[in-house]
């Protein structure tokens, strides 16, 4: 497979930064983690909370560069591309949670892991669904209609969450409307249990507002192609970002910024931050011409899905392999090597080391012009 002829450096850098930090925050060496590298427990925001919505924003950016190719295709071909990509990404996410596919039963025999206790939704599943819905909206409707539908999604989600939740707090973890829908559709055994209860932060209802991260990313990508390399365009992009941030802070008073519920204020806030960040990257790369530092991040940006899967599957294998009884490889490496640098800094060093390992694999692929697409 070969890379597409047309590339947008700032987009590759932005997407590469997202994957880079996603790996770091997902694979700490221990439970000792700096607070900025933790997700907000409920309402509120940390730098880590920006990673996932930024990836969706980058998906929208990338769509703005390939949509023009669809004009020469029949409708059936376009739909086949959209649904095929959606299916593959969703399936990869499901298999990631089902991995390693086998387990030992009470008789110590190796048996197939049951589907009945495999999580259905997740990060890749949300990316797949958000991409699918956003692609269909953008393909069938004009930009003005897409913006109107996007705003309507955010407003309706706000209304449904406020009305459909349990009083007195309709936005509580196990009292919100999204939780009820997930429980009804999937049951507790197919939901995430990392919060101590069956609650899925990538649930079905909360996936709807995430579509807006993609559609806004698409709109910003189209704007960048038209005026991104002018001072006027850059100024407008920055003003748009700051305007979104102000709107989000105002909306936070009535619908708190909350990643795990993917609230409408969270969407607007993250889109605003992404506009500011990508504007800064464009300024440094295209206006100042400083591009040497970008090579590190473009390695991630050119094979984002594969490197993300590599990091997750590889980490799962490290947790399964036990160099000592009752001690997985990650814990062993942390206790015997990384902990000497300090409880928290050692945990960060392990995460950075794993990120660099994944980067080396990406560099190997990039130098051989291998770009894995779905």
Give pLDDT tens digits for 38-55: 999 999 999 999 999 999
pLDDT at residue 2, rounded to an integer: 39
Asked if residue 189 lies in contact with residue 116, where contact means CB atoms within 8 angstroms, the answer is yes
Could you give the CA distance from residue 357 to residue 355 in angstroms, rounded to a whole number?
A: 5
Between residues 196 and 351, the one the model is more confident about: 351
pLDDT at residue 4, rounded to an integer: 41
Residue 6: pLDDT over 50: no
Is 373 among the domain residues?
Answer: no
Which range, of 3-12, 125-134, 169-178, 220-229, averages the lowest pLDDT?
Answer: 3-12
Question: Could you give the number of structural domains in the chain?
Answer: 1
List of residues 6+ apart from 337 with CB closer than 8 A = none
Is 299 among the domain residues?
Answer: yes
| Residue 32: burial class (beta carbons within 10 Å; 0-12, 13-18, 19+) | middle
pLDDT at residue 161, rounded to an integer: 96
Helix (H, G, I), strand (E, B) or coil at 220: helix
pLDDT at residue 335, rounded to an integer: 92
Q: How many helices (H) and strands (E) are present in the chain, helices listed first? A: 13, 2
Between residues 80 and 301, the one the model is more confident about: 80
Is 61 among the domain residues?
Answer: yes
Is 225 among the domain residues?
Answer: yes
Determine the average pLDDT of the residues in 221-242.
Answer: 89
Helix (H, G, I), strand (E, B) or coil at 168: coil
Determine the average pLDDT of the residues in 94-102.
Answer: 84
pLDDT at residue 71, rounded to an integer: 83
Q: Give me the domain span that covers residue 185.
A: 9-367
Torsions phi, psi of 100, nearest 5? Answer: -95, 20
Average pLDDT, the chain: 91
Structure tokens at 277: 């960040």
pTM beyond 0.85: yes
**pLDDT band, very low/low/confident/very high, at 309 (cuts 50, 70, 90):** very high
Percentage helix, strand, coil, to 5, in the chain? 70, 0, 30
Torsions phi, psi of 202, nearest 5? Answer: -115, 50
Is 4 among the domain residues?
Answer: no
Is 338 among the domain residues?
Answer: yes
Determine the average pLDDT of the residues in 270-279.
Answer: 96
pLDDT at residue 40, rounded to an integer: 93
Could you give the CA distance from residue 371 to residue 78 in angstroms, rounded to a whole number?
A: 21
pLDDT at residue 5, rounded to an integer: 42
Is 2 among the domain residues?
Answer: no
**pLDDT band, very low/low/confident/very high, at 257 (cuts 50, 70, 90):** very high
pLDDT at residue 244, rounded to an integer: 97
Q: How many CA atoms lie within 13 A of 182 on its CB side?
A: 29
Torsions phi, psi of 72, nearest 5? Answer: -90, 0
Share of the chain above pLDDT 70, in %: 97
CA dihedral 205, 182, 100, 324 (to 10 degrees): 110
Length of the chain: 374
**pLDDT band, very low/low/confident/very high, at 7 (cuts 50, 70, 90):** low
């Amino acid at each position: 497979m070969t890379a597409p002829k047309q590339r947008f450096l700032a987009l590759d850098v932005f997407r590469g930064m997202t994957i880079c930090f996603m790996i770091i925050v997902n694979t700490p060496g221990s439970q000792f983690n700096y607070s900025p590298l933790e997700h907000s427990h409920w309402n509120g925001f940390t730098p880590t909370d920006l990673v996932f919505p930024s990836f969706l924003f980058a998906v929208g950016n990338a769509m703005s560069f390939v949509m023009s190719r669809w004009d020469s295709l029949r409708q059936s071909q376009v739909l086949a591309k959209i649904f095929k990509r959606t299916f593959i990404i969703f399936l990869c996410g499901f298999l990631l949670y089902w991995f390693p596919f086998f387990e030992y039963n009470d008789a110590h025999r190796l048996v197939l892991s049951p589907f009945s206790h495999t999580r259905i939704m997740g990060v890749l599943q949300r990316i797949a669904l958000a991409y699918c819905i956003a692609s269909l909206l953008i393909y069938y409707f004009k930009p003005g209609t897409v913006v109107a539908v996007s705003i309507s999604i955010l407003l309706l989600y706000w209304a449904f969450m406020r009305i459909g939740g349990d009083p007195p707090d309709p936005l509580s973890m196990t009292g919100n409307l999204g939780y009820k829908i997930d429980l009804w559709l999937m049951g507790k055994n197919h939901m995430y249990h990392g919060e101590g209860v069956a609650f899925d932060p990538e649930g079905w209802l909360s996936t709807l507002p995430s579509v807006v991260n993609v559609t806004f990313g698409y709109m910003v990508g189209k704007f960048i192609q038209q005026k991104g390399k002018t001072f006027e365009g850059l100024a407008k992009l920055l003003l748009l970002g700051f305007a979104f941030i102000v709107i989000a802070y105002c909306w936070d008073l009535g619908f708190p910024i909350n990643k795990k519920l993917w609230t409408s204020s969270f969407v607007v806030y993250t889109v605003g931050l992404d506009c500011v960040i990508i504007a800064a990257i464009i300024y440094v790369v295209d206006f100042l011409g400083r591009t040497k530092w970008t090579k590190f991040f473009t390695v991630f940006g050119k094979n984002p899905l594969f490197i993300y899967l590599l990091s997750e599957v590889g980490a799962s294998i490290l947790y399964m392999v036990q160099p000592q009884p009752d001690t997985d490889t990650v814990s062993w490496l942390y206790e015997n090597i990384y902990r000497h640098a300090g409880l928290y800094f050692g945990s960060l060093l392990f995460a950075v080391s794993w990120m660099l390992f994944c980067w080396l694999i990406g560099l190997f692929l990039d130098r051989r012009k291998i770009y894995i697409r779905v």
